[in-house]
């Protein structure tokens, strides 16, 4: 069974999407529509901008969404998922690619999400840290003992978990995790505490927009970050999308569940190969590939 997966923030690179733009007139129309919806020329930043310009959250998230969704559309009949998932932001790409919401509505939500997250980051200084070489349950236990906000945010693969929260709490957690045997516990160069309770203002802002968006039954189950299970019911999809901003990305659990449900190949749709690398940490022999158009 084909499992299609869509990357999240961090997969961007300068020049991304130019090959897709040049591929067809339909793709050019999609990119121009995005410029109109966003109110700025994201195509110029994607195709010609610096890495620094692409790092701005209000640019990064729509850019990765556009690359992933337009790539999926470029595959035509070769896009044939039996199941799909997206890492954080990538969940929106998966939902659009699999027909649960329109391209325009998906892009509007992604833009609103990025701006709301940026505002939440500016309202309260916060950060994230990568923890390597430690069992998930041990990381969870140490986070629970720290005073202040620090929670598991991204369960990326076995032995790789990202924590998120206020700066003092995350720094203290890193010290205690290293003392408890973590190979590494290092702060990440991010703008704030994504997938933590500190994103509550962004979640509240996004909730109304999601509730007003038409979501339909996708062409295959979408394995959502919050529950790590395949979902097709539109109302449940909405509730999980709303919860996603303040809840953990359960990617390790998602990959285990996809394999248990019969996935035989993982096809990454979007920039980079991050998600292919993560599944190799679950099963080194698992077949993976990048989606290729043309």
What confidence score (pLDDT) does residue 285 get?
A: 87
> Among candidates 89, 86, 160, which has minimal Cα distance to 129?
160
pLDDT (0 to 100) of residue 124 = 84
The mean predicted confidence, pLDDT, of the chain is 94
Taking residues 141-151, what's their average pLDDT? 95
Please determine, for residue 248, whether its predicted confidence score (pLDDT) is greater than 90: yes
Q: Report the predicted TM-score, pTM, of the whole model to 2 decimal places.
A: 0.95
Are the beta carbons of 70 and 35 closer than 8 angstroms? no
In the predicted structure, residue 133 carries a pLDDT above the cut 90: yes
pLDDT value of position 128: 94
Angle, to 10 degrees, between the axis of helix 25-38 and the axis of helix 57-74?
Answer: 160
Query: Tell me: the pLDDT tens digits for 257-268?
Result: 999 999 999 999
Please report which confidence band the pLDDT of residue 10 belongs to, taking 50, 70 and 90 as the band edges.
Answer: confident
- Asked: is 2-122+197-290 a CATH 3.40.366.10 domain? The reply is yes
pLDDT of residue 86: 98
pLDDT at 113 over 90: yes
CATH class of 126-187: alpha beta
Per-residue model confidence (pLDDT) at position 292: 86
Query: How does DSSP classify residue 197?
Result: G
Angle at 215 between CA 209 and CA 219, to 5 degrees: 150
Per-residue pLDDT, 198: 94
State the pLDDT at residue 200: 92
Confidence of residue 209 (pLDDT cuts 50, 70, 90): very high
Within the chain, all domains assigned CATH 3.40.366.10 are found at 2-122+197-290
CA distances for 139 relative to 129, 142, 144, 249, angstroms: 12, 5, 9, 15
Give residue 53's pLDDT band: very low, low, confident or very high (50, 70, 90).
Answer: confident
Instruction: Write down the pLDDT at residue 76.
Output: 93
Share of the chain above pLDDT 90, in %: 87
Answer yes or no: is pLDDT of 96 > 90: yes
DSSP 216: -
Rg value, the chain, Cα: 18
List CB contacts of 252: < 8 A, sequence separation 6 or more. Answer: 136, 155, 156, 157, 158, 278, 282
Residue 52 and residue 281: Cα distance in Å, rounded? 30
Instruction: Give ranges for CATH 3.30.70.250 in the chain.
Output: 126-187
Residue 294, pLDDT above cutoff 80: no
Q: Cα–Cα distance between 222 and 225 in angstroms, integer?
A: 9
The catalytic residue positions are 88, 195
pLDDT higher at 262 or 12: 262
pLDDT confidence of residue 19: 95
Per-residue model confidence as pLDDT tens digits over 222-235: 999 999 999 999 99
CB 15, CB 276: distance < 8 Å: no
- Is 186's pLDDT higher than 80? yes
- The pLDDT of residue 280 is 92
Q: Pairing state of beta strands 160-166 and 230-231? A: unpaired
């Amino acid at each position: 069974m084909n499992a299609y997966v869509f990357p999240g923030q961090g997969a961007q690179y300068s020049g991304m999407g130019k090959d897709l733009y040049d591929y067809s007139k339909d793709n050019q129309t999609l990119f121009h529509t995005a410029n109109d919806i966003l109110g700025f020329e994201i195509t110029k930043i994607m195709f010609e901008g610096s890495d620094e310009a692409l790092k701005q959250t209000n640019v990064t998230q729509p850019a990765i969404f556009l690359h992933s969704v337009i790539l999926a559309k470029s595959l035509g009949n070769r896009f044939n998922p039996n199941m799909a998932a997206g890492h954080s932001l990538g969940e929106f790409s998966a939902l659009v690619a699999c027909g649960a919401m329109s391209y325009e509505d998906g892009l509007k939500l992604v833009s609103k999400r990025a701006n709301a997250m940026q505002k939440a980051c500016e309202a309260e200084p916060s950060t994230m840290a990568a923890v390597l070489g430690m069992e998930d349950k041990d990381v969870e236990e140490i986070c629970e003992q720290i005073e202040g906000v620090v929670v598991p945010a991204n369960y990326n693969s076995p032995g790789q978990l990202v924590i998120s929260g206020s700066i003092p709490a995350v720094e203290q957690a890193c010290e205690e995790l290293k003392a408890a045997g973590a190979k590494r516990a290092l702060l990440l160069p991010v703008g704030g505490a994504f997938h933590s309770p500190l994103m509550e203002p962004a979640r509240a802002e996004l909730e109304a927009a999601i509730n007003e968006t038409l979501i339909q039954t996708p062409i295959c189950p979408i394995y959502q970050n919050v529950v790590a299970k395949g979902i097709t019911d539109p109302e449940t999809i909405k509730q999980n999308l709303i919860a996603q901003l303040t809840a953990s990305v359960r990617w390790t659990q998602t990959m285990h569940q996809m394999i248990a449900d019969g996935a035989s190949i993982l096809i990454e749709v979007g920039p980079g190969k991050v998600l292919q690398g993560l599944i190799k940490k679950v099963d080194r022999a698992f077949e993976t590939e990048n989606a290729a158009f043309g």
